[in-house]
Amino acid sequence: MRSSARNPRSTAAAIITGGAQGIGKAIARRFLADGIPVVIADRDAEAGRETAKELRTLGRVAFVHCDVSRENDVRRLCRTSLKAFSGIRILVNNAAIGRGSPVDRLLLKDWNRVLAVNLTAPFLCAKHLSPSLKAAKGVILNIASTRALMSERDTEAYSASKGGLVALTHALAASLAPDVRVNCISPGWIETESSRKKSARRIPELSRADHDQHWAGRVGRPEDIADLAAFLVSPAAGFITGANYVVDGGMTRKMIYV
């Protein structure tokens, strides 16, 4: 039995926003397997409780129901997490939403909501957790998107928020150095339907063409991102900060002629 299981406060933990489903859930599972206690922060109470129950067999995990775009909720998340564990060593800013709409019909409230969740929330979490992260010589890992580098039509809010998150990454890396390393992962097409909560889970419908358009020969899996996340928060990545890693099976490097 791990020492953290005997004494819940003996080990600093990782907070993963949007950790109840998809990429966030895969990162939580991988961290727990590596012996890192996890706090899942999520707006979806059903998914959060379900995932926390499922993952408790792997290690110490807590769920905090909150909206990380609200500063009071972030303050409560920090207080609750620091009461449960000896400190917070890792922050993974993964929570995100999208609002696709033609630009001339994109409502300002929808634009603001996307930026609040995808960009303001990572800032708020970094702001309020920075003392604990500095004390632990910790790590911030932001989950952006290849939409920060390339676009489809009608993705202005999402693309802008993810581009801002890549920039926020190197800004925080400068401001929190040398105590806290800050890096970013920009996933491409990651199939997450199979890792949603049970009431919303669907069998993914992926064609051979979907897989073949990637140089890697397949669509990505949440575990592809979790594997890199585990490395970037580990001591083995101690000389890496301010970086953005594109994980997309080669998609953004393809030259396409019609």
What is the rounded distance in angstroms from the CA atom of residue 152 to the CA atom of residue 147? 8
What is the rounded distance in angstroms from the CA atom of residue 61 to the CA atom of residue 232? 21
Give the residue from 230, 245, 183, 191 showing the smallest Cα distance to 214.
Answer: 191
Q: Active-site residues: which are they?
A: 158
Q: What are the CA-CA distances from residue 108 to residues 122, 123, 165, 246 (Å)?
A: 21, 21, 20, 30
Give the residue from 182, 88, 113 showing the smallest Cα distance to 144.
Answer: 182
- Environment class of residue 72 by beta-carbon count within 10 Å: exposed (0-12), middle (13-18) or buried (19+)? exposed
Give yes or no for a contact between 21 and 195, defined as CB atoms under 8 angstroms apart.
Answer: yes
